[in-house]
Structure 1
């Protein structure tokens, strides 16, 4: 039967009434089907549009104080995935609809993505027409290349294993019957299978990317490389022992600072005798937040008592009296003993901790006029401090005397006044007392331009341990925890210096067996310069 839209008036004149009725019914049925499809498509577009609008509302209305940093990061990643999925569905649903001028304008005004880094390897693909003669029938002459359009797409090659084959030539004198051969290059793991790059990759995977050994084993197996968990652990153990002298040198560097930040975080440690885990602690010490050469060092300890930081800070370099300077810390009582253990140690408090006391009063929909006003006072102080980040210590101290000292004086007077209006033992009284009782430490930075107003910098440097303990679950032993502290100290300090962790660790592990003890400081993160491959023997990839 002919298509209905192709029928003409003369075609219908010769048809019987029954045929005309059948055609009319067929046309009506088709119209109903098309109407149903349009309604379904409109409903689908409306549903996707609603979901996309709701997603954008969530994205714009997310409260940073309502969730932890890790939850917020996961929330944002999920939003990006969902938004991309919904936009793809919406484009698919509108595939037959012509693009409006408004959509075209939005596309043109969309911000450009960040360009791909110049240091990435480029694989160039040339695309030219098969025929470069003029397509015009009247011409047909060869055309001239007048330009080009370039587009870039990011790609990846998964981790590739390869083998270093070292060939040591043997040279013999037939007259003297003597044999000469180049000495074997020293390796970080003598007589073992892994090169420095593989050992560094194993350490980075565990202590930076937080991959347990069983996951590394499965990943390596996809490349047909068999690395049992015990083998990976053995490599890490030997590398950690080799890095210990560098760790001690790094410790001397960090403890040479006049301003230190300190914090601690719990880590589970296996207790084989009890058949379960027990709580251990990682103590973190970092050079001042305004220090021109940053650095952090970790100390794995079986407890949280004051004796652990006292032992660590009391063994700085060759000075038996221990480290001296200003210690930025929270109000954990153990730090009182640490500060009194050596003369000339001063305490600096953390404004972020004082702020959290008031912020807790407003959580879960709570209402507190005192907390709201306290947060406003503290916000003004932080706004002023942000203008001083790039100043020298002397300039910062002068600026604080002129701009932030009056704000602190106003805050103190207001807190003292409000304390008399709230009952003892209340949550508001405890929040106010925290600031008033520790006022000298909180305002120590007003006397020293090198001191930060809070301890946030060290808290950020402790975060990798919090992420790691969720992946590894626990440290296998005290020695394992100490090895982790060695690697984490060097790698995190390398990141602070802007170094790529694997490149730094691989180069250090390659050079360390040949490094003189008197020049061990050359391998510290703040002194490191990539070694020359030309000095390490020839490399031929087969």
Structure 2
């Protein structure tokens, strides 16, 4: 028969086991709710106070609809014509004017027979679009000789008229077509097999293999421009970095399902000449970032991926991302208890929101003013936040969603507080995430790259296109201009091709963008 001491010990063990099972059940419920939230819930990380500014994609008509106003008892007539904004939206577009006048024989008054004069004009504007079409341009290059020399001299001078060289030797591709193909795939996310079908509908048969070869050879022509952009990137003091997976089917010695990575490096918001560059690599090792950023010294803003610590060995200062901290606390708000205003999850999220509120105040400040404001307002919030984290550990499971949020914030403290040192550093790495998004959207359409060469070409074209867009250029027009200059000039000045160069024509700039 068990003694009282044995029963008490057994009871304590059972209580402990019950607590462990309850904690494990809570963890599973959190994971289930988190997966449901990711699959069916809203993806925006903005807090509820920002929700009113967001439109529901599927209810846009209802969201934009204005409530029906109550009719006034007394009708008020106003003769003041309100100036609409429609004209502002189209003021930078090219205009074709079509005038409608009376024939000369009808420009007489039907009452008295005297000649009519123009008393006013009624102008109506409408938008039209010129669809894509394919045509052939024949470059006929005349060669001249001298009949007198042919008859009387031993040698006859041959003079050939000047003509632009082919963009690619023995190829029909033009600068316009090359820019169009690249823009369709890397801006509009249209895979080459869909472009093949589109060209067939336009009356020309161009295989996707042909299109792919053109893109790869076109990238080779852009290599000097890419090298100049990378040199400009590494000369800056502040950079952002991020990476995402990429499937490359025919990589030597690797299974087709093995993840490769597309790395992104870009300038921060402290420059008027942004640079966005992509780099394809077979893995996610920090050695790739260290090699790519060789020669860079300054601040590098990233997420919490430990691979970037390799860059620290080269003297680079890493900065963390508070948006990632906020995201983890937001993910922890999956249960009724967690959503209460006084829950630890809600409190942690509130601390993060306070820091972003400080950044909103400093949005239009100079770096010096922003630094002073952060020291005055953000630094005390961070110090209080980390004291609160220490007090939370007593009754928080490290494996829970809240525990993971606390652990991430604690482990990243050195990097999360680095932005307080310089007013130019941003509070988050959202700038890099926004820049990698076009690649992610494109990947959803074309799914994978066939070869490492294709992946490297994709990285190069994305670099040129996204840098052009960041500098207010129409990417297709800019690519066309660049290829045209490569065609026309034997010795090319790359500095004049940079997206912010004064030589870039106005036709390459996007409408409604300042020069």
Query: TM-score normalized by structure 1?
Result: 0.73
Q: SS at 2:244's partner residue?
A: strand
2:66 corresponds to 1:66? no
The residue number in structure 2 matching 1:496 is 470
Distance of aligned partners of 1:454 and 1:128 in 2 relative to their CA distance in 1, 3 Å threshold: same
Q: Is the 8 A contact 2:497 2:504 kept in 1?
A: no
Q: CA deviation at 1:304?
A: 1.0
The residue number in structure 1 matching 2:194 is 215
Q: SS at 1:270's partner residue?
A: coil
Unaligned runs of at least 5 residues, structure 2: 1-37, 46-50, 150-155, 508-515
The residue number in structure 1 matching 2:383 is 409
C-alpha offsets along residues 506-532 of structure 1, whole Å, 9 cap, x if unaligned?
A: 111121255577832322223363369
Q: CA deviation at 1:190?
A: 1.7
C-alpha offsets along residues 470-500 of structure 1, whole Å, 9 cap, x if unaligned?
A: 1111011111101111111111001110011
Q: SS at 1:309's partner residue?
A: helix
2:327 corresponds to 1:356? yes
Q: CA deviation at 1:68?
A: 3.2
Q: SS at 1:409's partner residue?
A: helix
Q: CA deviation at 1:311?
A: 1.8
C-alpha offsets along residues 48-84 of structure 1, whole Å, 9 cap, x if unaligned?
A: xxxxxxxxxxxxxxx9x932369x9x99554347999
2:233 corresponds to 1:259? no
Q: Is the 8 A contact 2:192 2:211 kept in 1?
A: yes
Q: Is the 8 A contact 2:247 2:256 kept in 1?
A: no
The residue number in structure 1 matching 2:297 is 324
C-alpha offsets along residues 454-481 of structure 1, whole Å, 9 cap, x if unaligned?
A: 0000000000111111111101111110
Q: Distance in 1 between matches of 2:506 and 2:116?
A: 49
Partner of residue 382 from structure 1, selected from 356, 361, 374: 356
Q: Is the 8 A contact 1:187 1:510 kept in 2?
A: no
Q: CA deviation at 1:134?
A: 6.8
Q: SS at 2:258's partner residue?
A: strand
Partner of residue 237 from structure 1, selected from 212, 216, 232: 216
Q: SS at 2:196's partner residue?
A: helix
Q: Distance in 2 between matches of 1:374 and 1:110?
A: 48
C-alpha offsets along residues 198-248 of structure 1, whole Å, 9 cap, x if unaligned?
A: 011111111111111111111122221221112111111110122122212
2:275 corresponds to 1:295? yes
2:126 corresponds to 1:172? no
Distance of aligned partners of 1:236 and 1:424 in 2 relative to their CA distance in 1, 3 Å threshold: closer
Q: SS at 1:261's partner residue?
A: strand
2:342 corresponds to 1:367? no
Q: SS at 1:175's partner residue?
A: helix
| 282-291 or 362-371, larger mean C-alpha shift | 362-371
The residue number in structure 2 matching 1:160 is 133
Please identify the structure whose Cα radius of gyration is greater: 1
The residue number in structure 2 matching 1:45 is none
2:453 corresponds to 1:479? yes
| 234-243 or 266-275, larger mean C-alpha shift | 266-275
Q: Distance in 1 between matches of 2:178 and 2:330?
A: 45
Q: CA deviation at 1:333?
A: 1.4
C-alpha offsets along residues 105-159 of structure 1, whole Å, 9 cap, x if unaligned?
A: 9xx9997546442332323333568977778x7x787665433332211111201
Q: Is the 8 A contact 1:300 1:481 kept in 2?
A: yes
Q: Distance in 2 between matches of 1:481 and 1:258?
A: 29
Q: CA deviation at 1:448?
A: 1.1
Q: Is the 8 A contact 2:286 2:311 kept in 1?
A: yes
Q: Distance in 1 between matches of 2:360 and 2:307?
A: 31
Q: Distance in 1 between matches of 2:485 and 2:141?
A: 20
| 122-131 or 480-489, larger mean C-alpha shift | 122-131
The residue number in structure 1 matching 2:48 is none
Q: Distance in 2 between matches of 1:420 and 1:175?
A: 104
State the aligned residue count: 442
The residue number in structure 2 matching 1:32 is none
The residue number in structure 2 matching 1:429 is 403
Partner of residue 125 from structure 1, selected from 98, 106, 120: 98
Unaligned runs of at least 5 residues, structure 1: 1-62, 88-99, 315-321, 534-542
Query: TM-score normalized by structure 2?
Result: 0.76
**RMSD of Structure 2 on Structure 1 (CA):** 3.6
Q: SS at 1:151's partner residue?
A: coil
Partner of residue 429 from structure 2, selected from 452, 455, 464: 455
Q: Distance in 2 between matches of 1:459 and 1:380?
A: 22
Partner of residue 519 from structure 1, selected from 486, 493, 498: 493
Q: SS at 1:271's partner residue?
A: coil
The residue number in structure 1 matching 2:512 is none
